[in-house]
Structure 1
Amino acid sequence: MKNRLLSATLASFGLISLTQNASAQVIPGLDTKAGGMVVPQGKAVIALKHIYFKRDSMFDSNDEVINKEHLDATANVTLLALRYGIAKNMDIRIVMPYKQISATAKLGINNVAIDNSGIGDIVMMGKYRFYNQYAYQLAVGAGVKFPTGSTNKGFKKAPPFAQGINTPLPTQPGTGKAEYKLEFGASKLFDPTLRADMHTMYTYRPKAENDYDFGNEFLFDIGVVKAITDKFNIGLEYNFKYNTATDMGNDTNPMLRSKLPFKAFSGSAGYITPEIEYLPFGKPKIFVGAGVSFLIHKDLKEYQPLEKRKFVVRMGYLF
């Protein structure tokens, strides 16, 4: 597995299995956020998830185009999540991200380098399971992403190549504004060794600090996980994201924007993610997993970079 799932750390919102079968237990996949499941009342899960991707390819609409600016960008995002069951059918979760974004590009005669890192915006979500019968679970949730990440004035203008033009960049760790989230999840346990989970989330994003609009977002994830031994699960997911068009503000030079490779994602993209999970004790007390997401389709709203692969690792502990 090329790049060997860099950085090591990880985990996610996913959790425990419904099954009581002692020989094998399946837990939700890497990105399905536990589907319709909630943490049992009085229980908690702490998890660490690390995502790595590189953007050194440029796209426009459905096509890969020439990377005229020789953009080479790398992102490492680490998510620390705590999830706790506050009632029989309800849990809450808090997710704190740490972001590290670095990039180089060449615009005209100027070499541009960006290296930003810091704590991002913290998310708090509540999830309520309203159906739990016949091996089906359905849940809804809502939450807020708080503006805890850095948005200092260094993100307001592009590097010197912009010659003072107000061209905000999408590399700030925070947005400076609260964002609002709604989610729906579903889970189905077919037998003690096979499960399917689905999750959707919509995020409403007001215009961010420094006059950058990251666009509203819709996510859809669906996956199947199969236990192949009492300690190993394998899975396959489809991951889809859609973002509305971004807006860099009224003062941005349109000609410069059309050439600027530093843009937040806008449009749609779909990925297939094969993954593997290790449960060292044969139960979801401790779990460690990894996966690789491969880009399989895209339809972007403008000239922009997009990763062809994402590497994900996660580990978690159930209290």
Structure 2
Amino acid sequence: MKIFIKTFIFLIIIIPLRAYPQACCTGGAPLSSSLGVISYTGENLVIDFSYDFNTMKDLYAGNSQLNDKQRERSTNSTILRFTYALNNKWAITTVLPYVWQEQTVRSNVGKTVQSSSGIGDIVLLGQYAILQNKKNLVLLAMGPKFPTGSTSKTDNEFGLLLPPDLQPGTGSWDGIGAVSYSRFGIFRPTLSLYTLFSYRYSFQVGRYDGQQEYRFGNEMVINIGLTDSFLLKKWILNPSLQFKYRNTQKDENNGSSFPNTGGSWMYLVPSLDIELSPKIYLHSNFEIPIHTDVVGTQLVTSFKGNIGINYTLNFKKNKAYKIKD
């Protein structure tokens, strides 16, 4: 009898949640903010460790915010990124994420908390500097996302399979591409303009022993911003401000569009890098939502940020050019 009551309460709480899936973030780590497009002259190994946090408390229908505080979600990721520059043209980047997610739904009969954690999907990118001089830098990056993250996490209390967007991984082999352009010395020697266009193409994956074919929507991200440099005692400060546009297509379930998925988001992203030495710098950024337009009704980002530390091993004397992502 107790099991029946618990199951009944669980279904009462969780069924409304299924009507409002969270499409702001797909399963796994936030790839659009962790690509790390970097170009070097000479041989370097760059090790970057960062922590990414995403708080979602705002419910939207289209571009209108709803007065509903019964649902919230948090996604936290640690991202270990290795970039090895073979020479001044070629580099290889590996992104290794670990993801924690928690979702809370409240109702008149109580609340349900669902959570998952685990290794996310690993990304391998090859990077090539198409153009590199004192004023301009053009980089091209592409590579696969491997289905290393779990897609079989279950609810702790009832053992039910968690929805795709609560899994640490997507389960699919995806293709990622990016192109970046930087213009140095705008108005003053230290002021630079940078842009980044990235795209992720998703493939479908089977769930429930082949009974369901699920496919996350393709994702496009455009960044454009300005960065400058200032000297503070022995440290070099690199503040920047960028505009970010993100668009995702609708997810697909068994070949049909999945409701309440897909949309467009705009963010204002201030960031600060602090170069403690030629080999070590700290970095941070915060994404402030300025416009949201989703398909159907979705829970979206209220606040998102990233902090990290970057260390460079120099195998040959070189000069680095960093491109924001």
TM normalised by structure 1 equals 0.77
**C-alpha contact 1:112 1:159 (8 A) present in aligned 2:** no
* Matched ranges for 1:11-26 at <5 A: none
Matched, 1:181 2:182: no
1:247 counterpart residue number: 252
Matched, 1:275 2:271: yes
Distance 2:230 2:84 in 1: 29
Distance 2:281 2:153 in 1: 41
Distance 1:106 1:48, change over 3 A: same
Q: Specify the code of the residue in structure 1 equivalent to 2:200.
A: T
Report the count of equivalent residues: 273
Per-residue deviation, residues 273-314 of structure 1 (Å, max 9, x unmatched): 112221123x3x101022221101111112111112212112
1:80 counterpart residue number: 80
Which of 214, 219, 222 pairs up with 1:220? 222
**C-alpha contact 1:132 1:138 (8 A) present in aligned 2:** yes
Q: Specify the code of the residue in structure 2 equivalent to 1:179.
A: D
RMSD, matched Cα: 3.0
Distance 1:41 1:309 in 2: 38
Per-residue deviation, residues 187-219 of structure 1 (Å, max 9, x unmatched): 121154222221111111012342432210001
Per-residue deviation, residues 47-79 of structure 1 (Å, max 9, x unmatched): 0121112111101111111327x1121111111
1:45 counterpart residue number: 46
Distance 1:42 1:52 in 2: 32
Distance 2:141 2:269 in 1: 24
Matched, 1:232 2:226: no
Q: Specify the code of the residue in structure 1 equivalent to 2:67.
A: I
Which of 291, 299, 305 pairs up with 1:297? 291
Distance 2:106 2:90 in 1: 50
SS in 1 for 2:92: strand
1:63 counterpart residue number: 64
2:321 counterpart residue number: none
**C-alpha contact 2:151 2:164 (8 A) present in aligned 1:** no
Distance 2:65 2:289 in 1: 12
**C-alpha contact 1:98 1:117 (8 A) present in aligned 2:** yes
Q: Specify the code of the residue in structure 1 equivalent to 2:271.
A: E
Report the Cα offset of residue 317 of structure 1: 0.5
SS in 2 for 1:231: strand
Distance 2:305 2:75 in 1: 11
Distance 2:270 2:84 in 1: 28
SS in 2 for 1:87: coil
Identity %: 24
For structure 1, list consecutive stretches of 5 or more residues without a partner in the other structure: 1-11, 14-29, 259-264
TM normalised by structure 2 equals 0.76
For structure 2, list consecutive stretches of 5 or more residues without a partner in the other structure: 1-29, 208-212, 314-325
